[in-house]
């Protein structure tokens, strides 16, 4: 039996490669769930986005370790070009070549998420779909050049992690409708139950009815300066900022926001990476002179108030709790990873 330390870097590369394949399979699966809108609701969709991003970053780290470890392997002894340039190496050049191509695709498309504001959201979305191609090349590399490709445990692992993503990919590619959970109606908070007469009556909490009208078809119109409409939506995890353009038709910003979600003007602004950039884009697209109301979750209140300080056009309204924020923004059927025209 050969001592493990004599093949330390080879074993490290194998482990990192297997780990990257599992992480990439899970990341692609979660991404397809998000793209197919199989998960609804601001909270759950936001959590799914965070998991998808974490899995993607972990995959990229594993790819770097997988290729970098081989540079120090005493038996294979590849050069930098062998592990970075496709089809240059002499060891199984085809299978390792497609693995290198797939690895570079995953790295480029994964990191492109953080510069999507410069690329353009629509263009970035089209490019991001090629992530599945890079993942499929990685699967081919693992099956064609992997040391453990024929082992039962390896094939069982692929069946558990890669097979579900493959099914989702086939359904998405062929245009087969994916099952979706029905959207739950937004209801008012429960009213406190009356206590027995022997005790002092406790006043019921204030009710905030948020019954929303049916969402109309998307028509590109122009928002008049005096009409209330949704100018933009930014989501960060469970929180975010909803911008209303025009005069509030109700003193309660939550009710006004609920009534305005179906009256978006010329569309929502594209998704951006930060609140300051988001608010700047909203201001540029909104009609001149129209007031802009920012309805934010509590965790973003300080940032929003600091951003609009000293600007008479902006008014910040803070949601009293997380439930109300989710109730208002859930009326906009938008994936947290994107903001599409209304």
Higher-confidence position of 163 and 219? 163
Are 233 and 154 in a shared domain? no
Q: Are residues 8 and 154 in the same domain?
A: yes
More confident residue, 93 or 230: 93
Is residue 136 domain-shared with residue 237, that is, in the same domain?
Answer: no
Q: Residue 57 — pLDDT band, cuts 50, 70, 90?
A: very high
138 touches 20 (CB < 8 A) = yes
The count of other CB atoms within 10 Å of the CB of residue 131 is: 22
Residue 237 and residue 126 share a domain: no
Is residue 248 in a domain? yes
pLDDT of 147 > 90? The answer is no
Residues 132, 166: Cα–Cα separation, whole Å: 9
Residues 48 and 150 in one domain: yes
Structural Rg of the chain based on CA atoms: 25
Domain-embedded: residue 261: yes
Residue 97 and residue 85: Cα distance in Å, rounded? 8
Phi, psi (5° rounding) for residue 285? -90, -20
* pLDDT band at 66; cut points 50, 70, 90: very high
What is the pLDDT confidence band of residue 104, given thresholds at 50, 70 and 90? very high
pLDDT band at 167 (very low <50, low <70, confident <90, very high): very high
Q: Which residues contact residue 2 at a Cβ distance below 8 angstroms, ignoring those fewer than 6 apart? A: none
Is pLDDT at 4 greater than 70 in this prediction?
no
DSSP of 72-94, one letter per residue?
A: T-TTT---HHHHHSTT-SSSSHH
166 and 19 both lie in a single domain: yes
Taking alpha carbons only, the member of 270, 269, 256 closest to residue 228 is 256
Number of domains in the chain: 2
The overall pTM is greater than 0.85: no
- What's the sign of the alpha-carbon dihedral 294, 295, 298, 299? negative
Of 232 and 16, the one with more pLDDT: 16
The confidence score (pLDDT) of residue 276 equals 78
Asked whether the predicted pLDDT for residue 262 surpasses 60, the reply is no
Average pLDDT over residues 124-130: 89
**Is pLDDT of 154 > 80?**
yes
Residue range(s) defining the domain that contains residue 57:
4-174
- pLDDT, tens digit, 9 for 90 and up, residues 173-190: 887 665 555 545 445 455
Q: Name the band, by pLDDT with cuts 50, 70 and 90, for residue 55.
A: very high
pLDDT tens for 203-253 read 544 444 444 444 444 333 343 444 566 677 777 766 778 887 777 766 676
Asked if residue 164 and residue 290 are part of one domain, the reply reads no
Residue 210 lies in a domain: no
pLDDT confidence band for 275 (50 / 70 / 90): confident
With a cut of 60, say whether residue 270 has pLDDT above it.
no
The rounded distance, in Å, linking the Cα atoms of 306 and 169 is 43
Share the mean pLDDT of the chain: 75
The reply to whether 164 and 242 lie within a common domain is no
- Does one domain contain both 252 and 149? no
Q: Are strands 239-245 and 292-296 parallel, antiparallel or unpaired?
A: antiparallel
């Amino acid at each position: 039996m050969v001592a493990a330390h004599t093949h330390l870097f080879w074993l490290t590369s194998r482990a990192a490669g297997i780990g990257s394949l599992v992480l990439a399979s899970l990341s692609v699966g979660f991404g397809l769930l998000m793209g197919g809108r199989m998960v609804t609701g601001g909270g759950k969709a936001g959590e799914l986005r965070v998991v998808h991003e974490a899995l993607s970053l972990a995959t990229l780290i594993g790819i770097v370790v997988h290729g970098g470890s081989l540079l120090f392997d005493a038996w294979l002894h590849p050069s930098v070009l062998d592990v970075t340039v496709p089809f240059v190496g002499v060891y199984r050049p085809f299978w390792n070549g497609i693995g290198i191509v797939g690895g570079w695709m995953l790295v480029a498309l994964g990191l492109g998420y953080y510069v999507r504001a410069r690329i353009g959201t629509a263009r970035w979305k089209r490019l991001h779909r090629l992530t599945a191609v890079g993942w499929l090349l990685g699967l081919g590399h693992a099956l064609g050049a992997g040391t453990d490709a024929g082992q039962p445990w390896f094939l069982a692992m692929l069946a558990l992690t890669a097979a579900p993503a493959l099914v989702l990919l086939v359904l998405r590619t062929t245009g087969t409708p994916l099952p979706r959970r029905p959207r739950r109606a937004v209801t008012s908070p429960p009213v406190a139950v009356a206590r027995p007469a022997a005790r002092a009556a406790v006043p019921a909490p204030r009710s905030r009815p948020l019954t929303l009208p049916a969402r109309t078809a998307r028509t590109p119109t122009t928002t008049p300066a005096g009409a209330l409409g949704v100018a933009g939506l930014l989501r960060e995890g469970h929180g975010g900022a909803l911008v209303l353009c025009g005069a509030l038709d109700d003193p309660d910003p939550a009710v006004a926001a609920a009534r305005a979600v179906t009256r978006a003007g010329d569309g929502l602004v594209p998704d951006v990476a930060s609140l300051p950039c988001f608010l700047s884009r909203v201001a540029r697209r909104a009609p001149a002179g129209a007031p802009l109301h920012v309805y934010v979750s509590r965790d973003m209140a300080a940032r929003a108030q600091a951003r609009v300080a000293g600007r008479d056009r902006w008014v910040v309204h803070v949601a009293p709790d997380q439930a109300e924020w989710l109730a208002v923004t859930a009326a906009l059927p938008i994936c947290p990873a994107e903001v599409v025209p209304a």
